[in-house]
């Protein structure tokens, strides 16, 4: 089983700050022309969640573009996610422990064209106006 690409701490909490798009899992499968993989087919790429649709998409995107983050807001141990977020990470982690993350938005937005190119490369064609900042904190208890 692989380790997770995004931010992971020793606790079961996780978080992400991603500049990109949020997509419906079912629509993304169709859009990317993907066939649902089984745990066996995912093999070493299987992350251990029960959500094979998400894992199939994540596996596909990670193989095409390592710099893109694919995040499931339900957390990795939970059930199926209706939607997921894909894009470039603007940071995470610090606020796990009650800290603050400060982002120079203009500086980060200079990378928007790069994000669009990466999304395009994996088959997700969107405009600059479709890019949003997606933030999530998942308390693992």
What are the φ and ψ backbone dihedral angles of 11, each rounded to 5 degrees? -80, 170
| Sequence-distant (≥ 6) Cβ neighbours of residue 94 within 8 angstroms | 100, 101
**Is residue 105 near another protein by the rule CB under 8 A?**
yes
Site for another protein in 59-78 (CB under 8 A): 73-75
Taking a C-beta distance cutoff of 8 angstroms, is the pair 85, 111 a contact? no
**Is residue 49 near another protein by the rule CB under 8 A?**
no
Element (H, E) at 122: helix 112-122
**Is residue 102 near another protein by the rule CB under 8 A?**
yes
**Is residue 89 near another protein by the rule CB under 8 A?**
no
**Is residue 134 near another protein by the rule CB under 8 A?**
yes
Helix axes 112-122, 52-64, angle to 10 degrees: 110
CB of 134 vs another protein, minimal distance in Å: 5
CB of 43 vs another protein, minimal distance in Å: 28
What are the φ and ψ backbone dihedral angles of 67, each rounded to 5 degrees? -75, -20
**Is residue 8 near another protein by the rule CB under 8 A?**
no
**Is residue 132 near another protein by the rule CB under 8 A?**
yes
Q: Which residues would be at the binding site for another protein (CB under 8 A)? A: 13, 15, 17, 22, 73-75, 83, 85, 95-96, 98-106, 109, 129, 132-139
């Amino acid at each position: 089983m692989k380790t997770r690409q995004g931010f992971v701490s020793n606790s079961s909490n996780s978080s992400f700050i991603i500049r990109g798009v949020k997509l419906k899992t079912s629509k993304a499968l169709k859009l990317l022309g993907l066939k649902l993989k089984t745990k066996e087919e995912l093999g070493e790429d299987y992350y251990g969640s029960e959500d094979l649709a998400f894992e199939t998409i994540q596996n596909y995107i990670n193989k095409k573009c390592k710099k893109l983050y694919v995040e499931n807001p339900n957390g990795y141990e939970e059930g199926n996610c209706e939607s997921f977020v894909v894009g470039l990470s603007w940071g995470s982690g610090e606020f796990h422990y009650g800290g603050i993350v400060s982002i120079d938005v203009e500086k980060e937005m200079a990378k928007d064209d790069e994000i669009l190119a990466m999304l395009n490369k994996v088959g997700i064609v969107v405009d600059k106006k479709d890019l949003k900042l997606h933030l999530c904190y998942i308390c693992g208890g």
